[in-house]
Amino acid sequence: MSRLNPRQQEAVHYISGPLLVLAGAGSGKTSVITRKIAYLIQECGIAARHIFAVTFTNKAAREMKERVSSLLKKGEGKGLTVSTFHNLGLNIIRREHQALGYKPGFSIFDDSDVKGLLSDIMQKEYAGDDGVEEVKSMISNWKNDLVLPEQALEKARNPREQTAAIIYIHYQRTLKAYNAVDFDDLILQPVNLFQNNPDILEKWRNRIRYMLVDEYQDTNASQYLLVKLLVKDRAQFTVVGDDDQSIYAWRGARPENLMQLKDDFPSLKVVMLEQNYRSTSRILKCANVLIANNPHVFTKQLWSEMGHGDEIRVIRCRSEDAEAETVALEILTTHLRTQRPYSDFAILYRGNHQAKLMELKLQVHKIPYRLTGGTSFFGRQEVKDIMSYFRLLINPDDDNAFLRVINVPRREIGSATLEKLGNYASQRGISMFAACDEVGLQEVLDKRFTERLTRFKHYMEKVRQRCAQDDPIQSIREMVLDIDYENWIRQNSSSDKAADFRIGNIEFLVDALKNTIERDEEGATSFEDAVAKLVLRDMLERQEEEEDGADGVQMMTLHASKGLEFPVVYIMGVEEEILPHRSSIEADTIEEERRLAYVGITRAKQRLIMTYATKRKQYGEVINCTHSRFLDELPHEDLQWEGQDDAPVEVKAARGNDALANIRAMLKK
């Protein structure tokens, strides 16, 4: 889309105050943001280093950066910040770590690190880690709502919340001792810093002359406040969002932040982007009619010049097996008849559990597919464990790597010992690894613990020497044997098969390290450089790049499909208690489920097919299902209902056989 339409131009050129761009699905919002950045630099004379653009995913930030670069002359974009919210928070903490009481080189705890620490605290303090997921979720919600540990304890309304708040206090204290932050801290800490240090806030306000925020409807309370603090005085900002695509309430997102803007910035201008560049008029009409059932402060009507388009097909299937079979056969037939590449097709569903049967059917019919939402190789626990050993070997000051491996496999060194070690290391201004065998540590720790720590440190130093002097790969393999990691995996796996798979991952990782050492174009790479290259590789991005080139039907949840588009979309399981989900029916939060259905519908460019089953197996018994209320809310003149007849089973079987015979005939041509 090279030329901007009048509404988009208005959004790009308006810079005299705060601006909210309500951008409907497929309305070219990324074009507006990227053109506006170029306009600010080239026409308004704002230096790139004073412009900050914020979004939610690395992929979106990267795409935005590339598109801005293509609009600017060489050197014009120097210093421009295009990042995720969490990256912006990370940069603020890095620059202001002293004011926040952290040493440089602090660690970031990921999901499994957080779970491990909470589990450890709960086992020590409460003789068991039952409910660790619930406590983790409560702490995350508190942080997103800017509730500090002591405040959480004051606000606790029942024993459950009280216990979680006490664990939160202990958890936060331990994190600080470890010189670490978790994901939610990346927003919470900067907000607290700015609220308590007007001089530091002033410095950052002077750096940020213009701010642009993408996917604004997905911001939570702390993200909204971070933006508000940074832009408050100057009020030079553009936020882009769509209240109809707010589908992350379970993650703390608050679509009401769009409304809140009007109160906080009374001079706010609103521009609506309603022209859609993706879908046919019929698909958009269905989306508009469906979402009109939700209450709105701002009402918009998507429209398109992409033609009227085919009717929306709704297919009733007798069972979940028949549903998956129908979708697989249709995709295969269409592919063979029209030569459409498999990557043109997307299968969307409400929950990951719906994917298994669909995968089997695609495999049976030899249809290639790509499943979005699995764990990436480098996200697997065993890979992260051994990578942390690698990291500690090349950088003994990496506290996060130290914390990950010190008790994997178990060395009977608990969180209380590590908290004391962390505090001691902080006072001495050294890493936890360096502090392990210091004489002064004996004053704060029992002798048996200092002996365990010293033994670990000396062992790792020996491995490092062997890596430097001998064959590093052989030394690594010996280390994995020495620490008896294979046995640790076998004890912590659900089955022998799962353990074998995980051990295979470790072998694959060591081979990857070996290849990195041998493959370098400029001759052999040192062990340190090879590990650094593996550590630095952004695994999720690498996965995206690998996936982008492959041909295959795309399978993903409705949540994961946001921001994407496909020529042909199948939405499966459009039934009561699946979409809308049972929990939302019980909690009366149907509006978010309707937005989720709206997101699914607006992914389709040319053809949209929705399927549902009349019977499903649940916990071993067959239950009757009814189609979703959302189907009744769609304009019936635009729907083509199929599979409504109750033909005898033999007739249906004959039809199925005819369909297969047709496919075989096509293959022989």
Q: What is the pLDDT of residue 371?
A: 83
Based on the residue annotation, tell me whether 214 is a catalytic residue of this protein. yes
Return d(Cα 181, Cα 502) in angstroms, integer: 28
What is the structure's pLDDT at 659? 63
Pick the catalytic residue from 215, 419, 577, 592.
Answer: 215
Average pLDDT in the 618-623 region?
81
Per DSSP, the residues of 242-307 read -GGG---GGGT--TTHHHHHHHH-TT-EEEEE-EESSS-HHHHHHHHHHHTTS--SS----EESS-
The pTM assigned to this predicted structure is 0.74
Instruction: Tell me what the mean pLDDT of segment 523-541 comes to.
Output: 56
pLDDT for the residue numbered 394: 80
**Per-residue model confidence as pLDDT tens digits over 641-659:** 998 765 455 555 665 666 6
Instruction: Say yes or no to pLDDT of 398 above 70.
Output: yes
Amino acid, single-letter form, for residue 466: R
Buried b (16+ CB within 10 A) or exposed e, 471-500: ebbebbeebbeebebeebbbeebeeeeebe
Catalytic residue, chosen from 30, 34, 81, 189, is 30
pLDDT digits (tens, 9 = 90+) for 588-603: 889 999 999 999 999 9
Residue 546 has a pLDDT of 42
CA distance 84 to 62: 10
| Cα torsion angle, 157, 160, 161, 165, sign | positive
Q: How confident is the model at residue 548 (pLDDT cuts 50, 70, 90)?
A: very low
Distance CA 47, CA 51 (A): 7
Q: pLDDT band at residue 627, thresholds of 50, 70 and 90?
A: very high
Reply yes or no on whether 217 is catalytic. no
Among 603, 605, 607, 616, the one annotated catalytic: 603
CB 31 within 8 A of CB 11: no
Query: How high is the pLDDT of residue 654?
Result: 61
Q: Cα–Cα distance between 366 and 353 in angstroms, integer?
A: 21
pLDDT band at 105 (very low <50, low <70, confident <90, very high): low
Beta strands in 528-581 (DSSP E): 553-557, 566-571
Largest CA distance in the chain: 84
Residue 164: the pLDDT is: 92
**Burial (CB count within 10 angstroms: exposed 0-12, middle 13-18, buried 19+), residue 413:** middle
- Mean pLDDT (the chain) is 87
Instruction: Tell me whether residue 490 is one of the annotated catalytic residues.
Output: no
> Among 182, 214, 344, 638, which one carries the catalytic annotation?
214
The arithmetic mean of pLDDT across residues 179-186, rounded, is: 88
User: In this predicted structure, which of 1-5, 47-51, 374-378, 630-634 has the lowest mean pLDDT?
Assistant: 374-378
Catalytic residue flag (residue 605) = no
Please confirm, yes or no, whether 323 is among the known catalytic residues: no
Q: How confident is the model at residue 57 (pLDDT cuts 50, 70, 90)?
A: confident
Between CA 240 and CA 217 the distance in angstroms is: 8
User: What pLDDT, on the 0 to 100 scale, is given for residue 547?
Assistant: 43
Q: Which of 55, 238, 245, 602 is catalytic?
A: 245
- The yes-or-no answer on residue 29 being catalytic is yes
Q: Which position among 29, 350, 464, 605 bears the catalytic label?
A: 29
